Amino acid sequence: MQKYSADNISDDNIINGKTLLIDKPLNWTSFDAVKYIRRSLTSKFKIKKIKVGHAGTLDPLASGLLIICIGKQTKKISEYQNLPKSYTGRFKLGESTPSYDRETEVNKSFSYSHINESDLHNLAKKFIGKKMQKPPVYSAIKKDGKRMYEYARKNIKIEIQERKIEIYEFEITNFSSPYVEFIIKCSKGTYIRSIANDFGQRLNSGSFLYELRRTGIGDFSILNALKIQ
C-alpha cells in the first residue's frame, strides 16, 4: 500500500479537484485525516485556504477506507455518502458496553457458553434485508445542536429515533469464542456497533464491537487506498 504525499498532488488537482482514497488509522477521527491532508496541501502550495472534506465518518476506533475530496471534487461528497459500505471486524460475546464498542468500559457480563457456531450463522441470515435500527447513544447524531455522545457522557438520557437501514450481506467468517469475525455490506447510516449489540441480545447474551475495518465504499476498495501514517 502506497503512502499519501502532498508531492503527488499537482497544480491541476488544486484547480480542478481530486478524490483520494485514504486508509484511516486507528484512533484518528475522520476530521483528523481531513486536517492532515489540508495542512499538507496549504504548506506545499503556499495557499491559505483549500476545500477538503470527507465522504462519510469512520469512528476513531475503526480503521479503513475514507474518501477525501479536494477542491471542486467536494461537490461529489453527498454522492459518495450514499454508496453502500463494506466492513470486516469482530464482536466480543458475553459482555456489553454503553457505547456498544471499546470506547466505554464493560457494564454488564453474560453467559455465552450456550452459543455455538451454527447459532451465529443462522442469526446473521436473519439480519439481512431492510430494517429499522436504533443508533447508539454514543454517536455523532445531532439533537438540539449537540452531538448525542455529549449527552451520553453527561448521563443525560435522550430518546433516539430509529432509522431505516438495509443489510445486503452478513457473513460469519470465524468463531473463536468469545470472538466472532464477520463481513458486512450495508446501506448508508448503518451502525455496526448497533448490530453488535442487537446480535448479542438475540443470542440471549451480550456482545459489543471489538474491532472494525471499512474495506469498501461502493466500488472503491481499501486495496487502492493510501496510508497517511
Contact 34/228 with Cβ under 8 angstroms?
no
Contact 186/165 with Cβ under 8 angstroms?
yes
Check if 59 is active-site: yes
Distance CA 172, CA 122 (A): 10
Residue 216 bridge partners (DSSP)? 86, 221
Catalytic pick among 23, 59, 101, 198: 59
Residue 170 bridge partners (DSSP)? 184
Residues assigned a catalytic role: 59
